[in-house]
Structure 1
């Protein structure tokens, strides 16, 4: 893909040099994802002994072996090499059938190729596939692969690898498998370079979800299958091997991987796609978000891009370091206050509406999460298909009292304390909980705040009984249309997961979502997305607190990050390292 520095009007949120004014513009046809704190905390499977025929990978499971340029080692840019170091929340799952959080998505995008590649406009363009056709009934998509694509061990990619990758993803059933479940009936190999996807029914955004099918080297995986495993004749399906090795054809390949702390990748010289002239020779994804550590490394020029979990205070401190700028872009995600619609008193819509009136949205976006934008509806305005007719929510104690007076629980509030679980790994969320608790007290509601580790919250989400009344959770779509968010957040199939603590289970809404996704005509599909959003607002199962803006500190004095000028609204693609350029010769001019 040739990365196009498209017009930045209304699109780029990148902070220009210090004397310039900060920009927080937006574009309604941009979308996207990342945050999903939930996904950033999935558990990586434990590693076993060294696999045979490791091909391209990190058998030692130790990062930094035989290399310079490790963050914190006192090396800014090692002589003769361009190094890009980025921090991320951890763990990091580099198996394409398992990874789906931010760190994992960034790793997979750099290690593997997909049939198509997302564009800043929300479309897709050819990548491993050079072309495709669609049958008249919209049930069969046939892709012609580029010839000569090499995996990291030198073997050529064929249609068999595409089919194997899909079958493996669905058999394991983790990671991005949910995007294809109920959508694809089967994948068939037509010839060496031709593969067909046969759908269960028409699915409008089918090409978009293919950005999440990462193609593995089937022969390499088969050579490293452990016979004892849950997948029949496929044993462990190569999961132990792919925990710490890659079987990809991406611009980078695994050199070493310490699953507890750091992934080290090096440039693949035979990559088939475009690579910027000054792209990094080495990419390190480092598992920490600790503010003091990040600041020290950034100050010493030992870290090029920070994670997106730095607090406003930490970013302000980094912004004061010469040569460092703050990059900002809408990512398609939102922070939601999820309300358990089947647990009293939140089974009463008047109570849910009252809680929405108890939130000071101005304080939220100006003080607690500065730089974010007030939400209008249950889908971010940066996603294609957002409904702009929906109003912003407002803060009003009087209106909260009016709603509570209409509740069937009126006068009994002492019998119905409300539990609010906030995610321990994101300290700023406690401020949201405390604000709501204080305002609720003024209208007679009792809210008990519970600091809850993320993995514990995931477990609690598994049953109606254990799910808390309230929880504030970031959710980011998996592809760049409103339908991704609507299905993940409000379809009954996701009830009991971290993405839907509301337990909505509304058959009418399910049918509306399914109908919208099955609509092939783009304009008609967008109209149906708008109707679904309006219906969600009527049911009021959740409060969309704000549209998220990702913010990273980065070394603007020697790193050029072109994606900031035309953001790709798909989780992880903003850090496709082959487009980012590093100029070690400029470090000396960065200042102190």
Structure 2
């Protein structure tokens, strides 16, 4: 689209592997998106990272959507109405919806999708793992029974993409994993066209979509894989890309405030980075020692590293989340005197510890170095070890490390229990430091059964307080998402309960 220069396009093409895309320079109906990675799968049952959701969210629809401006509000999508009666939810489905291959969407597709997702047990399946059974009442009615009453089912279904039961049946040998990994047939606003490995995925607009496009939508989307942040920034600024994911913050601020651009800001997922402290391995198995680390940490340094586009969280639940107790929580700030007093109580002077950091994330590395310098003021030595993600999280889980740097994330727009289950309950994948509290386990199990929002809010505060008081996590910062958007483009919005990507169906050319 638009301002692309043939020479610039050739130069950037060479930087990205010798391929030039300047042939698209005059095509105003094409939207070029620079994504930070290439999907390992486009199977909605397995998708789990930004560049996979970029594709699946735009090809497939969900039963319900939620209002980005009000995360507590659900909107009709493939389901036009729904109701709960104890453990049973009933969904009425939209008429006249077809998949991209022309087959009609009905209740059989819902059942097949959810049954398959739960069997595979990957990706976003944790959001609906409380489903006991799915029953087709008639082609336009489906009943879903949960293992226990939960007020959050509809909300969590806003993240589950619906597949065709015919596709699932046609490729049933491996639950369709091989086929869905690299093929797609949804009901959504964009259709899958092709996947050029190492380069891009091409989509085209579904002009038979039941939803509404803005004026001047994009008929064609090229989801380009550009792994280098500097190249994403350079291509966006030069007009080679219409939007780019994960532009380095300093570049995003510079580009977004320059002529021809504006900044789009929004809430990010929970906290980033978060430092998990090992509850089983000395010296971090000592609560007073953990408290000393939490109080010694230089939070101002982290906020400054985000150039002021961040705040310090007060606990695990951000203020924008429905029912969040964040404003009622005590402010978390650097308190060196308090840290020294806590360290004295621990009896662990001159302690040494190791921190594992997933490689490739400058924010994670910086958070670890801030911890290192902050702890040094207490006479505590922190050794930092950067490793690939799997090795880094395995190090703390196998008690070879005292801390692990990652983020706190939740894909549900209103259900905090799924987040707590993944990060703070026994067996949770991201519960890397092996935190356990029976009262918290009981609270998380009870929360979904409470229909009164005020009462749920009280229980959520109790749950958050338990995690805060344990000093298991150092919430280093809660940054804003900052995305530079060209003035020639409109419609980009940041989803507060999503990994950062683009809703192409809302984008338009000005």
Common fold by TM > 0.5: yes
Could you tell me which of 503, 507, 510 is aligned with 1:580?
507
Compute the displacement of 1:431 (Å): 2.2
* 2:462 matches 1:512: no
Displacement of 1:420 in angstroms is 1.2
1:279-298 map, 5 Å:
279-298=217-236
Answering whether residue 425 of structure 2 is matched by residue 491 of structure 1, we say yes
- In the other structure, the counterpart of 1:193 is 140
Is 1:343–2:289 an aligned residue pair?
no
Residue 427 of structure 1 corresponds to which residue in structure 2?
Answer: 362
Check the 8 A contact 2:266/2:496 in 1, yes or no. Answer: no
Residue of structure 2 in register with 1:559 after alignment: 489
Q: CA RMSD in A?
A: 2.1
- Cα contact 1:338–1:472 (8 A) shared by 2: yes
Which of 222, 227, 237 is the matching residue for 2:169? 222
State how 1:99-248 maps to structure 2 within 5 Å. 99-120=47-68, 121-122=70-71, 123-135=73-85, 138-181=86-129, 183-223=130-170, 225=171, 234-248=172-186
Which moved further from structure 2: 442-451 or 390-399?
390-399
Conserved 8 A contact 1:217-1:247: yes
Displacement of 1:320 = 5.6
Q: By percentage of residues, which structure has more helix?
A: 2
Deviations 1:254-286 (A, max 9, x none): 111135442211111211111112111112222
- Structure 1 stretches lacking a partner, 5+ long: 1-69, 226-233, 584-592
Runs of 5+ in structure 2 lacking a partner?
Answer: 1-17
Residue 82 (structure 1) aligned to one of 27, 30, 33? 30
Q: How far, CA to CA, are the matches of 2:52 and 2:317 in structure 1?
A: 24
Normalising by structure 2, we get a TM-score of 0.90
Higher RCO (Cα < 8 Å, 6 or more apart) = 1
Q: How much does 1:80 deviate?
A: 5.3
Distance 1:313 1:354, change over 3 A: same
Listed one character per residue, the Cα deviations across residues 418-468 of structure 1 (whole Å, up to 9, x for unaligned) are 11122221123222222221222221111101112223224435x4334x2
1:93 aligns with 2:20: no
Is 1:325 the counterpart of 2:262? The answer is yes
Which whole-Å CA distance do the structure 1 matches of 2:456 and 2:199 have between them?
Answer: 43
CA distance in structure 2 between the partners assigned to 1:511 and 1:490 by the alignment: 12
Shift of residue 575, structure 1, vs aligned partner: 2.0
Does the aligned pair in 2 maintain the 1:332–1:569 contact within 8 Å?
yes
- For residues 80 and 506 of structure 1, the distance between their equivalents in structure 2, rounded to whole angstroms, comes to 56
**What residue is the counterpart of 2:456 in the other structure?**
525
Matches within 5 A, 1:431-510: 431-460=366-395, 463-466=397-400, 468-481=401-414, 482-494=416-428, 497=429, 499-510=430-441
CA contact (8 A) 1:244 1:259 kept: no
